Structure 1
Amino acid sequence: MTRVVLLGASPGPDTSPTGLRLAALPGNPTVAERLRSQLTSLDPRLATIESGDVAAALRALADVAESATENLFIIPENSVVHDELIYQITKAKRGALALVAKEPRPEVTEEEEQDDNGPEDHVPIDEAEPEIGPNRLEGLPVRSRVGKSRVVSVGTAHHAVTRPNAILLGPLHVSARNAPILAETCRELAAMASSFGEDDDLVQLIVFGLVRKGVSVGIRGRRDLFYRRVTTQEEVNEAGAEMAGMDEDRARLNNAVKGADGFFTTYFVSTYSRFIARWAARRGLTPNQVTLISITLGVAAAACFATGDRPWMVLGGLLIYFAFVFDCVDGQVARYARKFGVLGAWLDATFDRFKEYVVFAGLAIGWVVSGNGDDIWILALAAIGLQSVRHLLDFSFGVANRRKPPSPLPTLPLDAPDDRQLRQALTRRKVERSQGLRGLLKMWTKAGKFRTVHWARKMIVFPIGERFAAIAITAALFDARITFITLVIWGSVAAAYTLTGRLMRSLV
C-alpha cells in the first residue's frame, strides 16, 4: 500500500485548475477528477494538502509523514500523467525518487570553444560559484543540480546552488524508512518559511530539505511517458492531445522487460518475448500458467536428450531454448498485467533449477543409452554441484547485502545560504571512495560505459540465458560430454569472478 498526498495550488501566481477539462480524453474529465481516479487504487483515502500557505502545508505534510507506515507518493493536484508513469515511480526501490527534467544544454559556438573566457559552463564544476538560477523551464525555476542518478543539490529563491541544471517536475516517492526524516525536515522548513520566495515550488522545497539532511533522492525522467503540470485550458488541451498521441501500452510493455538482462536474453529472447507476454496477458493467461508451459517444455527437452539420438538432441536443443523463452515470458506477463504473488515467485525460482537439473539428467541418460559409458555422471554431478553452490552464494550474498546500511551522504544545515560546503564534502567523499579496493571497484564499474566491456561483464557471470543457450547449442551440435565440460569450465570462471567481486565488496 502507498500513502498518497495531493498537493493543491503551489505558491505564486499559478492556481490549481480543478475545473479545467481534458477534452481529448474519454469522459471529458477535469484534471483533478482524472488524477484522483488514477490514485484511488493506490490509496482510497487520499490526503490533500492546500499549499497556498507554505508553512501550513509543510506542517500538514509532516503530520501525514509521521503517521505513515507505508511509502509516500507526493504529487501536485494539477498533474496530467500516464498511469504507467505513476506505477513505475511508486514501484521504485530507492529510498526517495523524484521526476526531473533537465534544462537543455546551450549550444556552444566555434568562437566560444576557442575562447578561454567563454561561457560560464566551461568553468569546472568544482570552481563554479553557487547561484540563484534565473532560468525557468515548464513554468518552474531551474534551481536543482542533478547528476547521473540522484539530486546533488537544490536551491531556493534565497539559497544558491552550484550550476543548477534541472527542475523537479512534481511527483516524489519517499520510502517508509525515510518518512520520519521527511516529517522532521518539513517541520524545520515550516519554521523557516519566511526564507523562501513566492515562486519556490513546494516539491522543490521538500527535496531541498531531504538532500540537505543526507537523503539520497534518486532521479528519473519521463522517457517515453507523459507528465506535465497545467494551469490554463490551453495547456490542458495541449497536454491532453500530446498524451493521447503517445503509446502508453508500448511503454508498459517495454517496462515489462528487465533492463539488466544478459546478452543472450536481451538480443535473442526479449526482442520478441514481450509480444508473446502481451498476447498471453490479453487472453487471461496467468504468470503461473506460463511457468507451467516453461516447465513442460523443459521436461520435454530432457526426454529428447535422454534418447541420445542426434535428431532428438537437435529437437531437445530447440525445446530447451523455448523453455527459457517462456521462463522470461512468465515474468513479463506478471509485470505487464501487474499480477504478482508469492507462489509465482517461488515457482519461478524453484523450477528454473528443476529445469536445468532434469536436463542434466536427460543428457547423462542419453549418453549412457548411446553406449558411451557411465562416467558422464561425474561431469553431470560436477555441473549440478557447481551450479548449486553458485545459487547458494548468490542467495546468501543478496541477503547479507540487503542488511548493509547505505553509505551516508554529507549533510548541510537548512539555513546555509548556499551549497558550497555540501559540494566540498561531496568532493572529499568522492576522493575517499576512489582509493584502495573501493577505487578499483569504481574503476571497473566505470569501464562498463563501453559496450564491449558491459556485455563481457554480463556474459562472464554465466547467467541463466547464457547457460540455456550453451546447453541448447552444444547438445544440438556436439554431445553431452561437450555440454557438461562447457558448463563446468564457464561456470567455474563465473564462480571465481563473482566470488572475487563479492569478497572485495564485503571488505569496503
Structure 2
Amino acid sequence: MPDSLIRESTTTSVVLLATTPACRLSCADGTLLDRISDQLAVLPIRDVQVVTPGGGLGADLRGVAKIARTSTGAVAVLPADLVAHTEAIALLLEHPARDTGALISHDPAAAPMRPPVRVEGGRIVAAGSSFHLVPEANATFRGVLQAGEADLASLADIAEELAELADTGRLGPVTAVEAVDLLLVGLVRSGVPVRAAGLGPLHADRVTGQNAADSAVTRLADVDEAKVRLDTSVKEDDGFFATFLVSSWSRYLVKPAVRLKLTPNTVTGISAGLALLSAVWFSAGTPLGRLSGALLLYLSFALDCLDGQLARYTRSFSPLGAWADGMSDRFKEYAVYVGLAFGFGGYDIWYLAVAAMIVQVVRHAIDYTYAGAVTDAARIGAMWGRPARSLLESEDARRAPGVLGLAQLMERDTIARWIKKIIVLPIGERMALIAVTAAGWNARVTFLALLCWGGVAALYQLAGRIARSAR
C-alpha cells in the first residue's frame, strides 16, 4: 500500500518502489530507502508515495496505476534500491518540461539491473527486460522513469495490463525488481514518446547486496556534481560553430551571471541589443563598420548561447523565455539583413535581402509545422491510428529506408554527424557565415551565400521530414 509523504506544492509526484530487500541495505545515511528519501526531499516535488511489499509484482504495478489515475501532474517512478547522484535524479525530476522520460546511460553493457534500450534521436525507441529482447541496443536504463501529465492515462493502462500479465504468469520469470523496467517497455511499445535523459559522467545504479551498495556509494564521490551541472548546462546537441567556437568559453560566464543575478531573459535582451548595434554598424557600409558589425554579431550570438546555458544551469525555463528567445533570434537576424542592405546601397540588394529572408522563413516553417504535427499526433494518440505493440512479443530491429536511414547512419559516425549538422545551416553557422562574408567581402556575397547554402539546407530538411512522416 502506498504511504504519502507530503512536500511543498509543485507539479511532480514520486512513486518510490520500496518493494525489494535491497532498499533496506545500510549506508552512511541509514538505509538506501532513507538515503533516496533524503535526496528527494531537496528536489522540487509535490509528494512522495512509497509502495511497500505486499502482493508481488502485480500488486506493485496496480499501486502505480492507482496513483497515476489520481495525479494531476507528472509522475516519476523509481526504485528505492537505487544509488545515484542527486543531480542524476534531477535530470528528470527538475526538468521544466515535466515530460515523459527515462534516465539512461549510453554504456550498452546490459546487466540484470541494467536492462537494454535503443536510443535514436534523443528518444527511447525500444526497451527491454528479462522477458523483452532489444536488438541493436545502444544504451541501458538506470531505473528512473517519469510520465508527463498527458501520458498518465497511458501509464495507468499499461501498469494494469502488465499486472494482469504478471499475475497470470505470461511474462515468464519477471519479479518485483523489474516493475519500473516493465513500465518503460510498456510506454515505449505503446507509442508514447519517451525522452532519453543521458547520465553522462554521473552514476545511477540499482544494487542487490551490501557489497554492491557500498561500492556504488563510494563511486559517487569520484564525480564532481557541481562541475557536471555546469558542463550539462551546455546544449548537448548543438551546431558545430556553437559547440566549438562559442560554448567552449561561454560556459565560464554562467556562474558570474548567477552571482550577478542575471536572468536568462535579461541575457536575451542584451543579446538583442548587441545585434541591433551590429545592424547599425553594418548600415554604415564601410570596412570598419562591417568589421565592427561582425564582432558585435559574434558577441550577440555568444550571449544567445549563454541565456540557454544559464536557463539550464538554474533550471529556470519558462514558456515566455522560450518564446522570447525564439522571437529574438528571428528579430536579430532580420535586423542584420536590413542593416547590411542599407550599408551596401542600391535597390538590387533588397531583392537579395528579401529572398534570403524568405528562404529562412520557409526553413522555419518546415521545422515548426512538422514539430506541431508531431505534437498534435501525440496529443490525439498514436494508438488511435495504429494498433498498440504487444507486450508479449519480441522487439524487431527496424531499419529506416532512404533519406531517413542515411541520416540515422550518419548519426553513428562522429565526422558524418558534424557534417550533417553543418549542412542544415543552424543559427550558429548562419551568424558565422554573415559575420565572415560581411567583414571579408560585402552584403551581396553574404546574401548569395545565405541563399545558396540555405536552399540546400531547406531541401535536405524537407526530404528528411517527408521521410520521417512516411515512416
TM-score, normalised to structure 1's length? 0.76
Q: How many angstroms apart in 1 are the aligned matches of 2:326 and 2:140?
A: 41
Q: Deviations over 1:57-106 (max 9, x none)?
A: 2332221122234332111223332222112234488755254686759x
Conserved 8 A contact 2:311-2:317: yes
Is residue 2:240 matched to residue 1:263? Answer: yes
* Map of 1:113 onto structure 2: none
* Map of 1:467 onto structure 2: 430
Q: What is the CA distance between 1:33 and its match in structure 2?
A: 4.1
* Map of 2:39 onto structure 1: 38
Conserved 8 A contact 2:158-2:187: no
Q: How many angstroms apart in 1 are the aligned matches of 2:90 and 2:71?
A: 20
Cα distance change, pair 101–56 in 1 and its aligned pair in 2 (3 A): farther
RMSD, aligned CA = 3.4
Matched residue type, 1:381: V
* Map of 2:255 onto structure 1: 278
Q: How many angstroms apart in 1 are the aligned matches of 2:238 and 2:142?
A: 30
* Map of 1:76 onto structure 2: 79
Q: How does 1:189-200 map to 2 (within 5 A)?
A: 189=165, 191-192=167-168
Q: How many angstroms apart in 2 are the aligned matches of 1:484 and 1:167?
A: 46
Q: Deviations over 1:418-445 (max 9, x none)?
A: xxx525xx25xx3xx65xxx44422342
Q: How many angstroms apart in 2 are the aligned matches of 1:196 and 1:252?
A: 41
Q: Deviations over 1:197-218 (max 9, x none)?
A: 5965143663487279645667
Q: How does 1:49-68 map to 2 (within 5 A)?
A: 49-51=51-53, 53-54=55-56, 55-68=58-71
Identity of aligned residues (%): 34
Task: Give 5+ residue unaligned stretches, structure 2.
Answer: 1-10
Conserved 8 A contact 1:99-1:172: no
Q: Report the secondary structure of 1:46's partner residue.
A: strand
* Map of 1:153 onto structure 2: 128
Q: How many angstroms apart in 2 are the aligned matches of 1:294 and 1:261?
A: 18
Matched residue type, 1:68: S
Q: How many angstroms apart in 2 are the aligned matches of 1:445 and 1:239?
A: 35
Q: What is the CA distance between 1:328 and its match in structure 2?
A: 0.7
Q: Deviations over 1:2-50 (max 9, x none)?
A: 221011141xxx34337x443xxxxx67644442243244433211100
Q: How many angstroms apart in 2 are the aligned matches of 1:164 and 1:465?
A: 33
Q: How many angstroms apart in 2 are the aligned matches of 1:79 and 1:486?
A: 53
Matched residue type, 1:311: L
Q: How many angstroms apart in 1 are the aligned matches of 2:415 and 2:17?
A: 46
Q: How many angstroms apart in 2 are the aligned matches of 1:67 and 1:318?
A: 55
Q: Report the secondary structure of 1:154's partner residue.
A: coil
Matched residue type, 2:102: L
* Map of 1:319 onto structure 2: 296
Q: How many angstroms apart in 2 are the aligned matches of 1:218 and 1:409?
A: 22
Conserved 8 A contact 2:61-2:160: no
Matched residue type, 2:348: D
Correspondence for 2:335 among 358, 361, 366: 358
Q: How many angstroms apart in 1 are the aligned matches of 2:174 and 2:325?
A: 53
Cα distance change, pair 265–168 in 1 and its aligned pair in 2 (3 A): closer
Correspondence for 1:394 among 367, 370, 388: 367
Q: What is the CA distance between 1:174 and its match in structure 2?
A: 3.0
Correspondence for 1:382 among 347, 355, 370: 355
* Map of 1:339 onto structure 2: 316
Q: How many angstroms apart in 2 are the aligned matches of 1:302 and 1:101?
A: 43
Conserved 8 A contact 1:215-1:409: no
Q: How many angstroms apart in 2 are the aligned matches of 1:163 and 1:470?
A: 42
* Map of 2:377 onto structure 1: 404
Matched residue type, 2:50: T
Q: Deviations over 1:484-505 (max 9, x none)?
A: 2212222222223322333343
Cα distance change, pair 274–72 in 1 and its aligned pair in 2 (3 A): same
Q: Report the secondary structure of 2:24's partner residue.
A: coil
Q: How many angstroms apart in 2 are the aligned matches of 1:356 and 1:386?
A: 13
Conserved 8 A contact 1:185-1:210: no
Q: How does 1:217-228 map to 2 (within 5 A)?
A: 222-228=199-205
Q: Deviations over 1:433-459 (max 9, x none)?
A: 65xxx4442234213323343222212
Q: How does 1:106-117 map to 2 (within 5 A)?
A: none
Q: Report the secondary structure of 1:16's partner residue.
A: helix
Q: How many angstroms apart in 2 are the aligned matches of 1:88 and 1:226?
A: 12
Q: How many angstroms apart in 2 are the aligned matches of 1:387 and 1:15?
A: 56
Is residue 2:444 matched to residue 1:481? Answer: yes
* Map of 2:468 onto structure 1: 505
Q: How many angstroms apart in 1 are the aligned matches of 2:343 and 2:310?
A: 34
Q: How does 1:238-317 map to 2 (within 5 A)?
A: 238-317=215-294
Cα distance change, pair 378–241 in 1 and its aligned pair in 2 (3 A): same
Moved more, 384-393 or 475-484: 384-393
Cα distance change, pair 208–276 in 1 and its aligned pair in 2 (3 A): closer
Q: What is the CA distance between 1:320 and its match in structure 2?
A: 0.3
* Map of 1:329 onto structure 2: 306
Matched residue type, 1:181: D
Q: Deviations over 1:443-481 (max 9, x none)?
A: 342133233432222122221111100111111111122
Q: What is the CA distance between 1:337 and its match in structure 2?
A: 0.6
Q: What is the CA distance between 1:353 and its match in structure 2?
A: 1.2
Is residue 2:17 matched to residue 1:7? Answer: yes
Q: What is the CA distance between 1:324 and its match in structure 2?
A: 0.4
Q: Report the secondary structure of 1:404's partner residue.
A: helix
Q: What is the CA distance between 1:253 and its match in structure 2?
A: 1.9
Cα distance change, pair 221–497 in 1 and its aligned pair in 2 (3 A): closer
Q: Deviations over 1:147-198 (max 9, x none)?
A: 454544322xxx5858998975432223442323333234414633797759
Conserved 8 A contact 2:64-2:156: no
* Map of 1:16 onto structure 2: 23
* Map of 2:4 onto structure 1: none
Q: What is the CA distance between 1:348 and its match in structure 2?
A: 0.8
Q: What is the CA distance between 1:261 and its match in structure 2?
A: 1.5
Q: How many angstroms apart in 1 are the aligned matches of 2:181 and 2:172?
A: 9
Moved more, 355-364 or 223-232: 223-232
TM-score, normalised to structure 2's length? 0.81
Q: Report the secondary structure of 2:75's partner residue.
A: strand
Matched residue pairs, number? 443
Is residue 2:466 matched to residue 1:495? Answer: no
Conserved 8 A contact 1:306-1:362: yes
Q: How many angstroms apart in 2 are the aligned matches of 1:219 and 1:74?
A: 15
Q: Report the secondary structure of 2:437's partner residue.
A: helix
Q: How many angstroms apart in 1 are the aligned matches of 2:113 and 2:302?
A: 47
Q: How many angstroms apart in 2 are the aligned matches of 1:197 and 1:449?
A: 35
Q: How many angstroms apart in 1 are the aligned matches of 2:132 and 2:363?
A: 50
Q: Highest Rg: 1 or 2?
A: 1
* Map of 1:174 onto structure 2: 147
Matched residue type, 1:7: L
